[in-house]
Each structure stands twice: as structure tokens, then as C-alpha cells.
Amino acid sequence: MKQYFKLAWRNLWRNKRRTFITLASVLLAVLLSICMRSMQKGTYANMIGNAVRFSTGYIQIHAKGYWDKPTVNNSFENNDKLINALTKNDNISLIIPRLETFVLASSGEHTKGVQIIGIDPEKENQMNGISKKIKQGSYFSKEVDGIIIGDGIANYLELSVGDTMVILGQGFQGITAAGQFPVIGIFHFPDDRMNNALVYLSIHSAQNLFAAPDRFTSISLMLNKPRQIEETKKNLENLLGTSNWEVMEWQTMNKALTQEINGDNAGGIIMLVILYVVIAFGVFGTILMMTMERRKEFAVMVAIGMNRFRLILILLLETFFIGIIGILSGLIISFPILVYFNLNPVKITGTAAQMFEQFGIEPIMPASLDPQIFINQGITVMIISLVASIYPLIYVKRFKILDALKQ
Amino acid sequence: MIVNIAWRNVWRNKLRSFVVIAAIALGLWGGIFSYAFMQGMSDQQINSTIHTETGHIQVNQPKFLLNYDLQTNIKNSVNIEKTIRSFSGVKGVTSSIQLTAMASTAVTSFGIKINGIDPESFKTVNELNKYIIKGNFFDEKIPNSAIIGQQLAEKLHADLHSRIVITLQSYTGEITYFAFKVVGIYKLQNSEYNEQMVFVKKKDLQNAIGFPNGNASVINILLANNEITDSLERQIQAKFPNLQVQTWLELSPMMQVMSGTLNQMSMIFVFIILLALAFGIINTMLMAVMDRTREIGMLLSIGMNQKKVFSMIVLETLFLSLSGSIVGLIISIITVYYFGIHGIDLSFISEGINAIGFSSHVYPVLDIGFYPKFAFMVIVIALISSLLPARRAIKLNPAEAVRGE
Amino acid sequence: MKKNLNSQKIWILFIACLFFFTTVSYSQDTNPKQIVLNSVNLMNGKSNQSEATMTIVRPKWTRSISMKTWSMGNDYSMILITEPAQDKGQVFLKRINEMWNWLPSISRIIRIPPSMMGQSWMGSDFTNNDVVKRNSLVNDYDQTMIGSDTIENYDTYKIQLIPKPDAAVIWGKVILHIAKKEYYLLKAEYYDENGKLINLETQTDIKQFGDRKLPSKLTIAPVNEKGKKTTLEFKTMNFNVNIKEDFFSQQNMKSVN
């Protein structure tokens, strides 16, 4: 067996130019498929990251039952143990507590249902930069406390900064939560649905209003490595137990985004398949040419008594070597390229870019460095190369020595 | 003379030429098809918004969208509709009453948006009737019938023929209760929409809440095509300066982000595919030149000058890429046409896709003008790719080349 | 003689009355709608005024709310919260289908919009709708007698209520158990459209209130949610008190204490 390895290896380097060309085709196949997949995954990750920033975070922790019945009754008490455990988890970059529920907002004759969110001003701002979205008045600060409302609500209830908004809702254990708050800021998000439906209080005001001292309805988590979300979720579930808690990932909470990404991803996979077809034919063409070039060589070898099956084995090993070397070097070369495009992402241009910026999304398509991409694409290209090498094998098994020698 | 030699060379080694032609054809097909596919996906997202949600243009009172107030309605919408219908390029106009309400069953209550529509004119603007998965679209003359989305049906534990009680505000502001019977359940791609939008007949709703006959909350307009959207928006706005006139894009800005990303991504992907094509050609041509080392050496040694050998190889490539392009174009036109009608079912890729309903099928589309552009691009790429092997060929030392390996 | 005649007259009158009453009670026996109406009227009177305590029981906590109520027929009522301290002084006013809430802490009256009508009232198992729509059992359903039963030593009619085709009620079916003689509504079962039992209401602890005896404790429990129930216990109840429609006004909400 060792002999065959040696023979195959030596064959490769006998005609270096030919080997290099074949190697190059495999290398490029790996490189391009990795680049494409990495771009796709990176762009999805960017879109997801930005979407969850403005909503639930990657993971949310609730008291069990909150998701089905989002009321203050389904809130939970803040506890140091929980926060400590979350802080210790390496993958969690930001812990954002909230107390939110549906209430009536009223001013003068008008009343309107709104979603009220009690926030930790500093952490919320770290998460989504909301302080930059305030177009009138100011964000929460040590000196200023009150209520921050969407411009759609302000418009409907005819409120401006300094006016008073009345809130009526249900607090903890059904206690009536009624309060009036000075409007300190009016925000404008690009999505009008948010402008028409969201108001913010500082978490302490909210806890007072809802008679829920030191209680939260949710803790949102931002992650360092979003692709390890499943792992982190399982960790948290093991830590907290699922009898009193629900740990939910954005996929479950934001179905619309999940659908969007799934749809795009399916499209991305079709693109990838098309790329494979083009690549496979490139590799196949090269191998076909190589076989044609070596017809005489094969004929001579069989003529002097080489068993055809041994020849096939040697050819297989050659392809295998070329595949391995091509793929490995493809991986090595693609890595710095992807790192570069990860750090200096492709910029989206035109009106779409302005739109992105309005949404607070960076208009970029960063490359993803998920190791899974490298592994998957390496394996796929290896399979493509091996499939392409079936042609020379069939040829060797069937060719007639005399015909081949005549050429 | 060179042209002749090159042409004959192409057909001398049929297998080799076939490989190159096939590579080019496939590359061209890959570029065209993937572009058409992405275009199809992006169009589909836009179309689903236009044809199942807003139409191309929506008209309402300036403050209406803030709170869906009944009083903030369009007076005498019947005449306005008539005027809009007379604009050229307008395919369909429908008006509806929209308000927020609460739907309840014995199990639970849920905040909804109720749409009182006129089924006949609604069909000329909105294709919701094609996405009914159970029951029908107001086909029977059942009084107080409603059509709800699948998600809402699940949340309310309601099914076909279920009674749902809708609590809403009457035109004069009193709370009123109405029982509606579910006659149809629809399922659109947009799950938020499925959860919120309940459709009832305009007449039933008018009776229920005392909404003035002839008025409407919103008017939705479908146009002959998307290109004229902006110009018609301006025309309608000019005619009715006191109303708010918005295009589908203004109504759902997130669409712009989505389709923007999709467009730019597709450009990059097509670029990558073309890159793959270029390298495929370079590789096969290099192989081909190497294969013919002896032949080229011979030509050089019998006195053919380098320029001529160079142009011979470039010409060969040109012939090959022309033939490849023709084959590729034919395959592309056929596949884009075929899948444009039958669609590509994406549901096999992941189960999640199934949940998005109709859009699990993507129908590739491509403007006819793109085909020659792509073909031209591929030929240029092929020619550029042939420069390297051609240069190799003329660098050969005739003596060594003739001797062979 | 005179006396005799009188007594004779009285006797005749008595027998006539007896006859009359038996025929009336006979026709009432067979008319389930009338039985339900009698039962509802027994609880409400023409008007009434009461003091009650509502206890909300949840798996992890319980809470009691005390209140004074005034009502007139089915269309008008007013509720003043007297305990606990946080909610004290709040007033709810119901006029036909509308509901307002007076909040002394911010001195405002807020009208409950339709979108809030499905929410629970004061955190209990009653929704705002339940509070507003009490007359529904008589008018929104077709009643049929389906049998009799015995509940806590009372012989009861078992009456099935199926909503009228265009009635705006959420239940698929309601089964009432009403005491034959006393018209106490001892038990009510609320089913959804698929015939699944959703809410179970029981009335117990019969007490004397003014001119009539009534169950003083009403318990409602969502059957599919373990450990949850709400009880409403009446401390005092006066019937046919002297209040008029103008009592149930927004102005009066602020001064009703």
C-alpha cells in the first residue's frame, strides 16, 4: 500500500505544471465557495444583530408563562445570583433588564393603547443607541426623569416636551397602575410602528408605577458569539431550570425575521449550488484534459503489465492528494481574505445604504468567520473533486491499448 | 488564414473543445440564472407587499395611520375612487374601513385590525383571495362573515365556522359588540399580518358601527406596473392635496432595506460565479495549450511568427466562447422560462421555509436585455482568460516543445 | 254572618290564588327563559346596593379587594373600591356597554377603550366584558330545559343555553343549574365552541339579605388553569333602593365615596 502512495505522490510531481493547474482549480473552488458562503452568513448575522438590538436581544429570560401572557403578574424578582451567573457567562456581552406591559396612554380627550417599557437608561442605550434617536427633548439622565414617547404617539395625543401623559394599566397582582409623567423626550425610529406604539420609562419609575419593586418582565442578552446561541441557551436553562423560567432565543420571539432569514438563506443556498455546478465543471474539465494528456502514459503502463485496477488506485490517490493539498491551501489562502473582509466589510451603496443608516443598521456586508463554513465547503469541494475523478477511472478501466498508443 | 486554422483547430479535438464550450456555457448559465433567481426573490418580496397588503399606492387622511380613528376618514370616497380609476395606468381601486378592535373567543382575546372591504373591488387590487387555505373568500352570502389569518385562528383556537366576538368602537364612539362567523382562513408570508388583519364585508361593518355610507378609511390602488408608481403618486397627490398619498415603499420602509441587501448581495454572488467561470476557462485553456505543446512548437519551428500563434489561440478562444455563449444562452433562456413558470420549490432546503407559505416557490425573472449583456461579459472574460495561455504558448521554446515532455 | 261571608270570600280568594299560583308556577316550570330571568332578577332586583369583597387566588399569591356597589337594572352600575390602600377611592362606572374608571391618585376619569375590554378586571378572573355584559344570559341565548339535578340539597333545573346566531357572545354553550324553588343560580358551566369546559362558576353560602335569601359567595375558576380562582363575597345587600339613573354619572364618580 505504501508503495502506491509513493507512486502516486511521485506521479504528481513528475509533471509539475499539470499538477499545479489541477491544484489551482480545486483551490479556487474552495476559495470561491468559502467566500460566497461567508458573505451570506456574515450579512445575515449583521441583519440579525441589528434587528435583535432594537427588539428582544439574542436571548431573553422570562418567568415561565410570560411569553403567552405578557403581564406584570408574570414578572420575576431581581436576584443577584441570576445576574452574577449571567455576568460570568463569557458569551454574554450585555445584560438588559426590562419591565414592560400594555397600558393606556391618555392626554386630554384622547386615549391610546401603547406598549410601555421600563428600561435601564444606560444599558438600553448601549444596546440600541436610543439616545441618538431623540429628536425633541432629551434622553434620561440623573437630572431628568419622566417619559419618552414615539413621535407618532406625541402627534396623536397632541403632546410635546414638558406636557403630562397619563398612564393607566394593571400592575403586579392586579393593582391599578395609574400615573402621570412629564414628557421629557420624543423619539423617532425609522419604523413607524414603533413610533406609534412605544413609550419608555426608567425602570425605577416603571417598577413604582406597576407596584413591582425590583421586578423585571424580561432580561435581554446580547452575545459575543451569536452563533453559539444554542449552547448559551442550554447553559442558561440548565442553570435556571425550566420549571420556573423560560429562556427564549430570537428565532422563537421574532418569527418574521426568522422567516426572512430562512427565505434569504434558501436563496443563498441555491446561489451556492449554482456556484458548485460551475466549479465542478471547472474541476471536471481540468481532470478530463489531464486524462487526455496522459492517455499514452496509461497505455504504456498497462502494456508493460501494470494491472488496471492498480492504476486506478494510483489515480484515485493522486486525486486525493491534489484534493487535500488544494483544499488545505484554499483554506489557508481564504482565511486572511475573509479576515480582511470581516474587518473591512463590503459597503452597501446607494439609497439602500441611506435606508440602512436610518434604521440604525450599518450598511455593510461583513464576512463571517464561522469555522463551520470552512469545514463544510472543504468537504463539499473534496466530494466534487472525487466525483470529477470518476471520469479518468472509467477511462482507465475501458481504454484499448492500441487506440491509445496510436494517438 | 489564421482564422481558418483557428476554426479548424477548434474542431480537430472535439472532446477538448466540448469541455471548453461546456465550461463557458455553464458559466454563462450560472451567472444568468443566479441573477434571475435573485431578481425573482426580490420581486416576489415586493410583489407580496404590493399584491397582498398595500397595493402600489394608498390614500388616507393625513393623521389616519396614527391611531386608525374612524372619524379620520375620507369623505365621499366613492367619487375620489372614480377619479382615480380614470387615471391611466390604474388597474384597480378599492376602499375599505379600517379600525383597531379586539377579537375574542372563549379561550382568549387578541388585539386586531379590522378591515371592512368590498370583496369585488378588493379583488381587483389585492390577491388575498388566492391565499385562502380553508373556506373561501366571501363566496357565500352569509351575513357577518369574516376572514382571518392562520396565526390568529391558532391563537384564538378558532376554525372555519367559529364565532368570534369583535369588540369595537362605533362611529359615534360607543363600545359595540359583534359576532362574526369565520368563513375563510388565509395564510400570507407576513406572520404579523396573519396575526392582525381580519377582513369583513364593508356593508356588515357599516351596519355594525354606523359608519357613513360612501366614506372610507383608506383607498388602495393597484397600477399596471411598478415603474409608474412615483408619477401616479404625484398625480393623485396633486389632485387631492389634502389627503395623504403614499407608495408601498413609504408604507413599509423595511422592504427597501431587504430588497437593497438582496440586490447588492446578488451582484457580489454573480461576480463570484463569473470569477469561477474565468478560472475555469483559464485552467482548461492552459491545459489545452499544454496538451498541444508539440503542435505549437511545430508551428513555431516551421516559421509561424509569435504574433500569429498568439492570435490563433485568442481566435480559437473567441470561437469557443461564442459557441459556448450561444449554448449557454439557450440553456439559460429555457431554464429561466421553465422555472419562471413552475418556480423553484425551496421547501426542500429547510422545513422553516414551508411555514412562509407561497414564497417557498421562487420564480426567476430576467429582463430580456440582460441576456446579451451577460453573453458579452462572458465572451470578454473568456478572451481575457485566453491571454495567459496564449502568452504561455508563444513563450515555448520550439525545440523543447517539439521534443515533448 | 258578615264575618262568615268575609271568611268565605277569603277562602274563595285563597283557593283562587292557590289555583292561580300553581298554574303560574307550572308555566314557569316549563319556560326555561323565565327561570333564568327569575334567577337573574333575584340577584339584581330593580336596583341594589351592596358591600362585597373579591378575593383573587393565584398559585403564588392571593389578594383581596373590598368594594361598595350600586346598580340599577342591567344597564347601570357603579363600583367604589374601599380596600386595599393602593386602590382605595377608585370608581368604575358602567353605563350600558361603556365603562369609565375614576383614578383619584391622578384625579382623572379614563374611558376604557374596546381594546381593553378583554382584559381582566382588577387582576381577577372577570374580564371588563363580564362586568359590562351581565344581562346576556337571558337575551343572547336560546334556553332549553335538559333535566334536573341536586346540588347541595337543592333540587335544580339543568338549563342549556345556546347563543343566538348573531349574538355577540364568546361561549359555545352555557349550562346553568338553578334551584327549582328558590331560583338560586348554584352552578354555571361555560363551554367553548368545541364543547370544552372553560369556566366554572358556583354560588354558595345562602344568607338572608333584606327581603330575600341569596347565595352570598360567588366563585369563578378557569378550569384549565390550576390554582386560579376568584371569589366574590357579599357582606350586605339591599334591594330596590332609591337611586335614579342620574346617580350613574361621571360627575357622581368623584363624589360617590
Per-residue pLDDT of chain C (257 residues; tens, 9 = 90+): 444 545 666 666 555 555 544 444 444 556 888 888 888 888 877 888 889 999 999 888 888 999 998 988 778 889 999 988 888 889 999 888 788 889 888 888 888 877 777 778 888 888 877 776 666 788 888 989 888 888 888 889 999 999 988 888 888 899 999 988 888 889 999 998 888 898 999 999 899 888 888 899 999 999 988 889 999 999 998 888 888 888 888 888 888 76
Chain B residues whose beta carbon lies within 8 Å of the beta carbon of residue A266: 346, 349-350, 353, 360
Which subunits have 3 or more CB–CB pairs within 8 Å of chain A? B, C
Q: Give the type of residue at A148.
A: I
pTM for the structure as a whole: 0.77
Q: What is the pLDDT of residues B57-114, one digit of tens each?
A: 999 998 888 778 888 899 989 999 999 999 989 999 999 999 988 888 887 888 899 9
A385 close to A283: Cβ distance less than 8 angstroms = yes
User: Which of B15, B263, B277 is facing A278, going by the closest CB pair?
Assistant: B277
Chain B residues whose beta carbon lies within 8 Å of the beta carbon of residue A40: 265
Q: What is the pLDDT of residues B169-221, one digit of tens each?
A: 888 888 888 889 999 999 887 777 888 899 999 999 998 889 998 899 999 99
pLDDT at residue B366 above 50?
yes
Q: What is the pLDDT of residues B328-344, one digit of tens each?
A: 899 999 999 998 888 88
- pLDDT, residue C3, reads 46
Distance from C-alpha of A30 to C-alpha of C227, rounded to nearest angstrom = 60
A282 close to A275: Cβ distance less than 8 angstroms = no
Residue of C nearest to A102 (CA): C116
Q: What is the mean pLDDT of chain B?
A: 83
Contact with chain B for residue C190, Cβ under 8 A: yes
pLDDT at residue B356 above 50?
no
Any alpha helices (H) in B13-145, and if so which ranges?
14-49, 64-67, 77-85, 119-123
Distance from C-alpha of B67 to C-alpha of A154, rounded to nearest angstrom = 11
Nearest to B98 by CA among B73, B128, B124: B73
Cross-chain Cβ contact B189/A25 below 8 Å: no
**Higher-pLDDT residue of B189, B115:** B115
| Cis peptide leading into residue C84 (ω within 30°) | yes
Backbone conformation region of residue A368, classed left if phi is above 0, alpha if psi is from -120 to 50, else beta: beta
Contact with chain B for residue C246, Cβ under 8 A: no
Q: What is the mean pLDDT of residues B138-164?
A: 89
Cell numbers placing B236 = 393623485
The complex scores an ipTM of: 0.77
Residue indicated by cell numbers 413609550 = A199
Distance from C-alpha of A229 to C-alpha of A370, rounded to nearest angstrom = 13
Cell numbers placing B388 = 495567459
Chain C closest CA to B204's CA: distance in Å? 12
Chain A closest CA to C202's CA: distance in Å? 23
**HEC assignment per residue over A25-89:** HHHHHHHHHHHHHHHHHHHHHHHHHHHHHCCCCCEEEEECCCCCCCCHHHCEECCHHHHHHHHHC
Cross-chain Cβ contact B352/A262 below 8 Å: yes
Contact with chain C for residue B178, Cβ under 8 A: yes
Nearest to A319 by CA among A345, A290, A295: A290
A127 close to A94: Cβ distance less than 8 angstroms = yes
User: Which of B190, B254, B350 is facing A191, going by the closest CB pair?
Assistant: B254
Interface of A with C in 171-210 (CB under 8 A): 173-176, 178-180
Any alpha helices (H) in B50-76, and if so which ranges?
64-67
Q: What is the pLDDT of residues A308-322, one digit of tens each?
A: 888 888 888 888 888
**Higher-pLDDT residue of A205, B261:** A205
Cross-chain Cβ contact B101/C114 below 8 Å: yes
The set of residues, in sequence order, having a beta carbon less than 8 Å from that of C245 and lying 6+ positions away, is: C72, C76
Distance from C-alpha of A259 to C-alpha of B353, rounded to nearest angstrom = 7
- pLDDT, residue C26, reads 43
Nearest to B265 by CA among A133, A42, A234: A42
Cell numbers placing B221 = 390602488
- pLDDT, residue B182, reads 93
Residue of A nearest to B33 (CA): A274
Q: Give the type of residue at C11.
A: W
Q: Quote the strand ranges of C10-107, DSSP E.
A: 47-57, 62-72, 76-83, 91-95, 98-103
| B132-135 and A176-187 beta bridge pairing | unpaired
Cross-chain Cβ contact B102/C118 below 8 Å: yes
Chain A residues whose beta carbon lies within 8 Å of the beta carbon of residue B283: 21, 24-25, 282, 285-286
B27 close to B273: Cβ distance less than 8 angstroms = yes
Helix (H, G, I), strand (E, B) or coil at B134: strand
Nearest to B363 by CA among B340, B334, B337, B332: B340
Chain B residues whose beta carbon lies within 8 Å of the beta carbon of residue C128: none
Distance from C-alpha of A342 to C-alpha of A125, rounded to nearest angstrom = 25
- pLDDT, residue C25, reads 45
- pLDDT, residue C241, reads 84
Q: Is the dihedral of CA C233, C238, C244, C250 positive or negative?
A: negative
| pLDDT bracket for residue A288 (50, 70, 90) | confident
Contact with chain B for residue C98, Cβ under 8 A: yes
User: Which of A28, A267, A277 is facing B362, going by the closest CB pair?
Assistant: A267
Distance from C-alpha of B185 to C-alpha of B194, rounded to nearest angstrom = 9
Q: What is the mean pLDDT of residues A154-162?
A: 90
Chain C closest CA to A80's CA: distance in Å? 21
Q: What is the pLDDT of residues A53-78, one digit of tens each?
A: 888 899 999 998 898 888 888 899 98
Q: What percent of chain A has pLDDT over 70?
A: 98
User: How many Å separate Cα A182 from the centre of its chain?
Assistant: 40
Cross-chain Cβ contact C170/B176 below 8 Å: no
Q: What is the mean pLDDT of residues B393-401?
A: 68
Cell numbers placing C88 = 382605595
Chain A residues whose beta carbon lies within 8 Å of the beta carbon of residue B15: 288, 292
Cross-chain Cβ contact C166/B168 below 8 Å: no
Chain C closest CA to B101's CA: distance in Å? 6
| pLDDT bracket for residue B167 (50, 70, 90) | confident
Q: What is the mean pLDDT of residues A328-349?
A: 89
